[in-house]
Every structure is written in structure tokens, then in C-alpha cells.
Structure 1
Amino acid sequence: MNGPVEWIAAIGTILAAAMVAADFSRRVTGFGFVLFSIVACLWVYSGLTAPDGMPLAIQNGVLLFINLFGVWQFLISRKKKREIDKAAEIAEQAKEEVAQEQT
């Protein structure tokens, strides 16, 4: 298990994790989950084609569904988008209040 599929999946996993962890925006995080979903498919393929890869395939099959839920939450669900937008407004107000308290 050291072929191009695994390398692409590994690099994609690292990039997706960075996109989600950086939390630049709702859209970037959502596309991080899209990338996670794509590389999970690659890991499932890799696990199914490797002699002892069934645990890897099962793990990434489950992660695929979790990541698809993340895609739904961040890119598709309108209700969740409104909730996140409202939370962002409240967070911005809190940052401003804290900044004013420190001066």
C-alpha cells in the first residue's frame, strides 16, 4: 500500500484537515468536507484492494458518511446556514465588546 492512490489520498486528507481546522469560512470548511469525502472513497478503494486493508476500508466508509453530513451542514442545509450566519454575527459582536473592554 504505497502507490499513487494512497499518496493522493494522504495529501488530500492533510489538505482537507487543514481546510476544516483553519475555519477560514463556512464555504472553505464545507469544501474541506467535500475533499474529505473524495479521499475517503480513495481510502476505501485502497483498503478493499489491499490484502489486509479491510479495517481501513470500513473506517473510511464510516468517515465518508460523517463527511457527507459535514457537506450537508456547511454547504447544503439552508437552516444550518442561517444558524451559522447568526452565530458569526454574535461572535463578531462579542469580539468588539471584548476589544472595547480592553481599551
Structure 2
Amino acid sequence: MNEAVLTGLQYYGAIAATIAALLVSLDLGRRWTGYAMVVFVTSSLALIVWGFLQPDSEGIGMQNVVLLVINGVGVWRYLLSPHRKDAAGDRPHEPAPVA
């Protein structure tokens, strides 16, 4: 595969995972976390392709096969499941009242 395409996949995967991790860490609510999981899925897909086509990078490819499954569970739980705990989905958690 073209070296520029492989480099693009590698950097997209890294940047997308970083953005998704930032979204999760901001705790903006279930819907935003679900969107972050979708970004994680695209990151995993890019790094799977890169990992198996780039010499000596199969470990990253295998790691992202597992992460793809985990991220798919996250997409299901946060965006697709009919049994989501917060139906509104986009409100951040309210802080506990101080006694």
C-alpha cells in the first residue's frame, strides 16, 4: 500500500483516539460519550489496517481488534441500546448537594 496512505492511517488513528479520549474525560453526558465511542471505532479501524499492512506493527493491529470490540460495546451502551439509563442522554451529571 502507498506509504502516504499508511502514514495517514497511523496519524488519523492516533489523533482520533486522542480526541475521543478527551471527549470521554470531559464527561459531557451519555450522548457525547457515545459519539466519542464512534470516534474510537474509526480510530481502531484505521489502526487495524495500518497495523497489519505496516511491517512489524501487527501488535498494534491486534490490540485494536480487541479495542474495536470494546468500543463497539460502548457505542451500543451509550447510543443504541433501548435500555439506556439516561433517556435525555446529553446532560452532564449534576454535582451532589453539599450538606
Q: Which TM-score band (shorter chain)?
A: 0.7 to 0.9
* Residue identity opposite 2:73 in structure 1: F
Cα drift, residue 77 of structure 1? 0.9
Point out where structure 1 has 5 or more consecutive residues left out of the alignment: 86-90
- In the TM superposition, structure 1's runs of 4+ consecutive aligned residues that sit over 6 Å from their partners are none
Partner SS for 1:39: helix
What residue number does 1:21 align with?
A: 25
Give the corresponding residue for 2:62: 58
- Residue 43 (structure 1) shift: 0.3
Identity of aligned residues (%): 32
Structure 1 distance, partners of 2:8, 2:81, is 35
Q: Which residue of 2 aligns with 1:74?
A: 78
Q: Output the aligned Cα RMSD.
A: 1.9
Q: State the partner residue of 1:42.
A: 46
**Cα shift at 1:40:** 0.1
Q: Which residue type is aligned with residue 14 of structure 1?
A: T
Unaligned 5+ runs, structure 2: 88-92
Q: Which residue of 1 aligns with 2:96?
A: 95
TM-score of the superposition, structure 1-length normalised?
Answer: 0.79
Bigger helix share = 1
Equivalent residue in structure 1 for 2:7, among 3, 11, 15: 3
TM-score (norm 2): 0.82
Q: Secondary structure at the match of 1:35?
A: helix
Alpha-carbon separation, structure 1, partners of 2:22 and 2:64? 18
In our comparison, the structure showing a higher alpha carbon Rg is 1
Say which structure, 1 or 2, has more relative contact order (CA 8 Å, 6+ apart): 2
